[in-house]
């Protein structure tokens, strides 16, 4: 009996292959089309109908029924008992129930493609555990049908799962919702600004804090080693506007400890004050990176409480400052470290200069620091390899 059932299972599996192929196609089709779980006339999920594949399965099933004995004999030509048992298996398990099994598989494939894989999982458990095993036991032993009862249990088990799959297939589809446009926040009393870049998470730009970094375009230096030269020479396309940025920050309340604003040179942007006001209104501390050439603007932002920490990027010693900044004859008056540090509030220095000028660099005097800020007067380096000088007018 085991040999006959094994042979019969192989044959019935072969007969069901066209609908298995259809199942894969249905899964791919529905999965590629939002709102694919549709029913009714003109519904896109019904455009690919299973009739050709079902017809092929029905034709193969009929051929198997007509040639059951010769097919089984191909596997066990010398054993008449195996042939007889195999024919009985095919008569029961590769007949109309084969089409029902194929329909169950197609409906399950549809459910998987539409994102409801739980339907296919429940149907598989219903078929294999809740129906097939109990039915086979009931028919074979209490009802004393023997092997035929096992075959009948296998034949009846896909009926209920196929009906469940059909019910899911016929469910009305909820309307496909169009994603809303990207949220923005309207600026109060400030011009909308283009934001050239946003790093959503940084643990380096403001030591001791979990922050994000905003990149603004434009700079009055032309440092040959600049690692953000696209922000300097531009025009760099905007990654977002300030409304989108504020919408992002609103969703990061409680997750970020601060916001870093860098460039380029952010103090050159006319709408910076308004942008910082909006960021502060959301409750974020602000760190501002600057090249130190606009201490009056920094002092104003400090006086308004819009900058919690300022970091000045030191380029080189005074003798080589203009050369290193890419601006020969640069007036160092505004850049003297004591003037920037005297703008009030916690501040520090940093350097992105390459190794060839780091050895001659002098740091400005120390200044008070705030919790979560670099050590007062400390200089931390972000070395950069020597590059081609940035071009364009200052």
Q: For 128-164, what is each residue's pLDDT tens digit?
A: 889 989 998 999 999 999 888 888 988 899 999 989 9
Q: What share of the chain is helix, strand, coil (3-state, %, to 5)?
A: 50, 10, 40
Cα–Cα dist 111/108, whole Å: 5
- Angle between the N-to-C axes of helices 80-93 and 68-75, in degrees from 0 to 180, rounded to the nearest 10: 130
Mean per-residue pLDDT over the chain, rounded: 74
Q: Burial of 175 by CB count in 10 Å (0-12 exposed, 13-18 middle, 19+ buried)?
A: exposed
Cα–Cα dist 219/265, whole Å: 5
Q: Range with the lowest mean pLDDT among 80-89, 96-105, 181-190, 292-301?
A: 181-190
Answer whether 68's CB lies under 8 Å from 91's CB.
yes
Q: What is the dihedral of CA 290, 294, 298, 300, to 10 degrees?
A: -160
Coil vs helix vs strand at 331: coil
Does residue 206 have a cis peptide bond before it, meaning omega lies within 30 degrees of 0? no
Cα–Cα dist 134/115, whole Å: 30
- Tokens representing 242? 């300030």
pLDDT-derived band at 348 (thresholds 50, 70, 90) equals: low
Task: Name the β-bridge partners of 272.
Answer: none
**pLDDT (0 to 100) of residue 389:** 37
Query: In the chain, what percentage of residues exceed pLDDT 70?
Result: 66
pLDDT-derived band at 347 (thresholds 50, 70, 90) equals: low
| CA distances to 198, 258, 286, 364 from 302, in Å | 23, 16, 11, 19
User: What is the phi/psi pair of residue 190, to 5°?
Assistant: -140, 145
Does residue 223 have a cis peptide bond before it, meaning omega lies within 30 degrees of 0? no
Task: Name the β-bridge partners of 313.
Answer: 350
Answer whether 139's CB lies under 8 Å from 149's CB.
yes
**pLDDT (0 to 100) of residue 279:** 95
């Amino acid at each position: 009996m085991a040999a006959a059932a094994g042979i019969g299972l192989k044959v019935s599996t072969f007969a069901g292959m066209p609908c298995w192929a259809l199942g894969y196609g249905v899964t791919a089709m529905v999965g590629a089309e939002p709102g694919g779980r549709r029913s009714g006339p003109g519904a896109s999920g019904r455009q690919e109908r299973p009739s050709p594949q079902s017809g092929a399965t029905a034709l193969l099933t009929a051929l198997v029924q007509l040639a059951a004995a010769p097919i089984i004999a191909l596997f066990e030509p010398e054993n008449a008992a195996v042939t007889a048992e195999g024919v009985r298996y095919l008569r029961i398990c590769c007949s109309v129930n084969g089409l029902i099994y194929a329909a169950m598989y197609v409906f399950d494939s549809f459910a998987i493609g539409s994102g409801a894989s739980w339907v296919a999982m429940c149907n598989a458990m219903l078929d294999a555990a809740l129906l097939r095993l109990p039915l086979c036991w009931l028919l074979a032993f209490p009802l004393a049908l023997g092997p035929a009862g096992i075959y009948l249990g296998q034949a009846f088990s896909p009926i209920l799962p196929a009906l469940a799959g059909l019910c899911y297939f016929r469910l009305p589809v909820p309307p496909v919702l169009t994603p809303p446009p990207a949220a923005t926040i309207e600026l109060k009393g400030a011009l909308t600004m283009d934001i050239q870049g946003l790093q959503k998470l940084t643990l380096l730009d403001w030591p001791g804090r979990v922050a994000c970094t905003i990149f603004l375009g434009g700079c009055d230096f032309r440092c040959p080693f600049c690692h953000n030269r696209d922000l300097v020479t531009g025009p760099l396309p905007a990654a977002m506007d300030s409304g989108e940025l504020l919408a992002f920050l609103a969703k990061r309340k409680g997750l970020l400890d601060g916001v870093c604003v860098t460039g380029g040179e952010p103090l050159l942007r006319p709408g910076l004050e308004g942008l910082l006001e909006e960021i502060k209104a959301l409750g974020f501390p602000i760190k501002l990176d600057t090249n130190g050439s606009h201490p009056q603007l920094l002092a104003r932002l400090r006086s308004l409480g819009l900058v919690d920490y300022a970091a000045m990027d030191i380029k080189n010693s005074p003798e080589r400052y203009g050369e290193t900044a890419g601006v020969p004859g640069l007036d160092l008056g505004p850049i003297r470290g004591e003037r920037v540090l005297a703008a009030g509030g916690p501040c520090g220095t940093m350097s992105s200069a390459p190794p060839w000028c780091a050895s001659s660099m002098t740091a400005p005097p120390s200044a008070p620091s705030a919790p979560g800020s670099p050590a007062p007067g400390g200089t931390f380096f972000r070395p950069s390899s020597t590059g081609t000088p940035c071009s364009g007018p200052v």
